[in-house]
Structure 1
Amino acid sequence: MKRALNFNAGPAALPQAVLEKAQKEWLNYLDSGMAVMELSHRSAEYEQIHDSADRLLRRLMQIPDDYEVLFLQGGASLQFTMVPMNLLRNDETAYYIMTGSWSEKALSEARKIGSAASLASGKEGMYKNIPSIEASAPDDASYVHLTSNNTIFGTQWQTFPDLFNAPLVADMSSDILSKPINVNQFGLIYAGAQKNLGPSGVTVVIIKKDLLARSDERLPTMLSYQTHAKNRSLYNTPPTLSIYLLSLVLEWVESIGGLPAIEKINSEKAEILYDIIDESNGFYRGHADQGSRSLMNVTFKLETEAATGAFLEQAKEAGFIGLNGHRSIGGCRASLYNAVTIEQVNELAKFMKTFRKNY
């Protein structure tokens, strides 16, 4: 069967090896006579899946013991609300670093909960770069929030700010597991799974245990991190199939050499496309400034709207999926998440060269 050349921004491609293993186990997981989605979340078979996902993620990301790993639902969008509900203390302010649409939405939701403000913003520059942070967070900061990779504008933090007196919270939905990071820099990390971790339906939260004390007992039960930490993310029925596929993705990442190997591959993929853009004499025009370019989402336009439209139409005819830019800015976007292969990126690069030559 021919696989699509899938450059979707999310839900995104999954590794073929993961899909093949899931297919093999689809009807009869571990001789249980049941598919994973039929298993009780209290069963021994599912407990093994759940514990494996936790263990593998901790090992791959080198998550210290003083952090909880939670498997939740609701996507990053629910975390826009849960983070301030659980971490924003009275008489303090949540500060947000604005790098695109998702940080704007996160700030908007935080303002519904309490005091929240922008610490720095790249909006005036059309979000072409990551703003520099040269000072510590204000004294009244409950936490500082950033979005590590910006899918719409194609920018990514190259290094993270050290804010000293406030926990750093990061939405890593689109670049978690794409490279090694120092988890100790963060008080809380959250990520929807549907880019690098697995399918949609599960959200990973990595939170330092001492921050759990901020969760007010008056919070709704399901919106408190304490609830999920105390119950190992099993207070209610978790998204069992999504967590199973997440665990298979983690096995696959480990099998190919872990995050150092993944980072090397991702850097190579991005370099292939950025070279095509940079060597095109303006025929392809990248959105992001070079120092802020994302390894995950390569965003660009062509010389004219007509050329951009023709490119997207011919790319679709050639079998490429998901190259349209986000509806808010248009243009083109190639998402290079972990499951996208170097061979597929080379196919796209070849198409881009041919299109430029013939247009």
Structure 2
Amino acid sequence: MNQLTQFYNLSHIFISFIGAILLFAIYYNIQKRFKQVLEEGALFKRIDKGLLYFGFGMLVWVVSGSIAYSVNYYQQQETLWYQLTVNLVSTLNNLFWLLALYYVNEAPSFIYRNEKNVRLISGVIVLTAILTIAATFLVGNKTIHGIKLIAIPDVLLTTFLCVLMGVSFYRTFMLRGLRLVAYIAIIAIFLLFVSQLSDLFVHLGTDFTNQLIRIVAKTSLVSVFLVLGTSWVIQLANTPKPNEIQIQFLDWSLLKLTIPSKGIYNQKVDFGSKTTQYKNLLLFAYRRKYKEALEQSIVVNSGGEIKSQTYLTRIIDNINAILSLEEESKLERKDLITFIGESKYRLRILPEHISIDEALLAEFKRDY
């Protein structure tokens, strides 16, 4: 084993291991400090495991680095079983990434909290593993025009998940005001994609450039994961408690809102012509205050009472715009509306803190 390969493999192992331990530590701290917030309103225990799965992905990198170190030490890197192991471990890493993205709020809508599509993509990942095994026995290490056939399924899958991660991380960090981190995340994920190409194109680059790109990509990605975990802690700490929020529906399009932790005290919010958002918010409030626990939620999907999550986001965006809130005081969707599983959402405000004008209520019930 040459010194360059030895340095890369050892660096890969320890960077991934330290990153995984730090992610697990942040996750444990979050569960300990904010467990009530994470579980509030759920009809079943629904813990956000996104950071946990990113940590497991790091551990998969530790395993792959350890295997690579051992194989290179005994000069067996050209064996067929090693090529198969590399691709299967990469596929397992992709599976953990997918499971993590299921919990990322700003992930593309077809994957965020969408169990059906996650199961479908998970099936594709399993199929990729099967195709990789089949290709190993059918074509082995055969290359055509410098392309290693056995690596094609895994590289295509990794490319797809890199796109999903890029979109998810960019949206997440931009939403949290971390513009520079959003750009760094895009660069790190792009480098991660580029680092996979040398497994497919056997003559691409030199050992030095390929391993340099890999170590930079993985170090950067570990850092991005840690920033993601830290920003999640800050977000949870700034989330208003349900018992401090008060809302009064005064008339059509008009309400009064109080959220002390956001500096909002009895401020009137006039939705004006934005009646759809106001009606949706009033429907949430009516369900929360007057219905039984199992009937307080609203299904939000193409076949539900509210057709898209975009309508939920618009409620919050309109309140922020109408109140002209400063950046640090702006409301997020999670502050007022909580997800409880199976495309169902519910207002976070306690029923006793919701007030609806009697005439407005009568008119609403008649139309509803």
- The TM-score by the shorter chain falls in which range? under 0.3
- Compare relative contact order (CA 8 Å, sep 6+) and give the higher one, 1 or 2: 1
Higher strand share: 1
Question: What TM-score results when the alignment is normalised by the length of structure 2?
Answer: 0.24
Which protein is richer in helix relative to its size? 2
Larger radius of gyration: 2
- Using structure 1 for the length normalisation, give the TM-score: 0.25
